[in-house]
Amino acid sequence: MSHDSNAGPSTRDNDIALPDAEHYEDMIRARLAMDKNTQMVIAENQTYRPKNTTAAYKSKQREWFEWCANKEKVADGTIVYDAKLAFFLKDYVLTRGNKFKKNADGSPAPLGRESVLAYVKAVVDLYHQQVEAGFNKHTMARGPIVKRFLDTHTKKEARRKRTEYEDRGKNTLNDGYTDQELLRINQYFLIQNNIFSLRNKVCFSMSHAMLMRSETALGTQLPDLFIMELKNQGPSTCFAIVATITFGKTNKDGKIQYGSALPHRDVEVCPHGAFAQYFFSLFHHQNLPFPNFSTRRDWYDTYLFPNTTGDGSITYSEQAKIYKQVLRYCGVHSSKLTHINRKSAINMVANEGVSGDQQRQVGRWGSDRMVGCYLSGLPVDAIKVLAGFTTRKGDYFINRGSIEPSEELRKMVFPWIEYWREKFYRKEVEDDIAGPNFLDLMDYLRTVFLQDSVVLKGKYPGSFIWSHSIFDTDIYKDYEERLSSAIAANDEKFKMSQHLEVLLPEVAAAMKTGFDSMNAMLNIVQSQNQLTLNAVKQLEAENRTMLADSFLQISNMLRQGDENTQIQQTSTILPSSSVPLSSIPSPSAANSRGLPSFKMSRSLISVTDVWREYSVGLAGKPSIKSMEEQYGADWRKVDNRTESRFFTRRLPLYKKIESLSNERGISCEEAAQFLEFRRVSDKLSINQMCKLVADNQI
**What mean pLDDT value characterizes the chain?**
85
Rounded to an integer, the average pLDDT of 25-40 is: 83
How many angstroms separate the CA atoms of 214 and 207, rounded?
8
pLDDT tier at 565 (50, 70, 90 boundaries)? Answer: very low
Q: What is the pLDDT of residue 643?
A: 84
Sign of CA dihedral 457, 461, 466, 471: positive
Are the CB atoms for 639 and 620 separated by under 8 Å? Answer: no
- Considering 4-8, 17-21, 173-177, the range whose residues carry the highest mean pLDDT is 173-177
Decide if pLDDT at 677 tops 90. Answer: no
Of the candidates 591, 618, 604, 612, which has an alpha carbon nearest to the alpha carbon of residue 668? 612
| Minimum mean pLDDT range among 95-104, 249-258, 573-582 | 573-582
Residue 263: Cβ within 10 Å count: 27
506-531 pLDDT, tens digit per residue, is 666 566 566 666 666 676 666 667 66
Question: What confidence tier does 144 reach under pLDDT thresholds 50, 70, 90?
Answer: very high
Asked whether the predicted pLDDT for residue 601 surpasses 80, the reply is yes
Q: What is the pLDDT of residue 635?
A: 83
Give the burial class of 71: count Cβ atoms within 10 A of its Cβ; 0-12 exposed, 13-18 middle, 19 or more buried.
exposed
Across the range 255-270, mean pLDDT stands at 96
Q: What angle do CA 317, 320, 323 make, to 5 degrees?
A: 155
pLDDT, tens only, 418-441: 999 999 999 999 999 999 999 999
Of the pLDDT bands very low, low, confident and very high (cuts 50, 70, 90), residue 26 is confident
User: Is the confidence at residue 591, as pLDDT, over 50?
Assistant: no
- Top pLDDT among 401 and 582 is at 401
- On the question of pLDDT at 125 being above 70, the answer is yes
Range with the poorest average pLDDT among 269-278, 355-364, 669-678: 669-678
Q: Is the pLDDT of residue 599 over 60?
A: yes
Report the pLDDT value the prediction gives residue 515, as an integer from 0 to 100: 64
CA-closest candidate to residue 633, choices 615, 651, 609, 610: 651
CB under 8 Å to 261, separation ≥6 — which residues?
A: 205, 206, 209, 210, 240, 241, 271, 272, 383, 386, 387
Residue-wise pLDDT tens digits, 33-44:
887 888 788 778
Please tell me which residue, 494 or 189, carries the higher pLDDT value: 189
Note the pLDDT tens digit of each residue in 447-485. Answer: 999 999 999 999 999 999 999 999 999 999 999 999 999
Segment 485-489 shows an average pLDDT of 89
Model pLDDT for residues 166-218, shown as the tens digit of each residue: 888 888 888 999 999 999 999 999 999 999 999 999 999 999 999 999 999 99
CATH numbers and ranges of domains, the chain: 24-163 (no CATH), 179-489 (1.10.443.20), 591-698 (no CATH)
Structure confidence at residue 507 (pLDDT): 65
**For residue range 42-56, what is the model confidence (pLDDT) as tens digits?**
778 777 777 778 888
Sign of the torsion angle spanned by Cα atoms 134, 136, 139, 142: negative
- SS3 category, 487: helix
Q: Lowest mean pLDDT: which of 310-314, 491-495, 624-628, 641-645?
A: 491-495
Contact between 420 and 294 under an 8 Å Cβ cutoff? The reply is: no
pTM over 0.75: no
Highest-pLDDT range among 290-304, 355-369, 597-611: 290-304
Overall average pLDDT of the 601-611 stretch: 89
Query: Using CA atoms, how far apart are residues 497 and 383, in angstroms rounded to an integer?
Result: 26
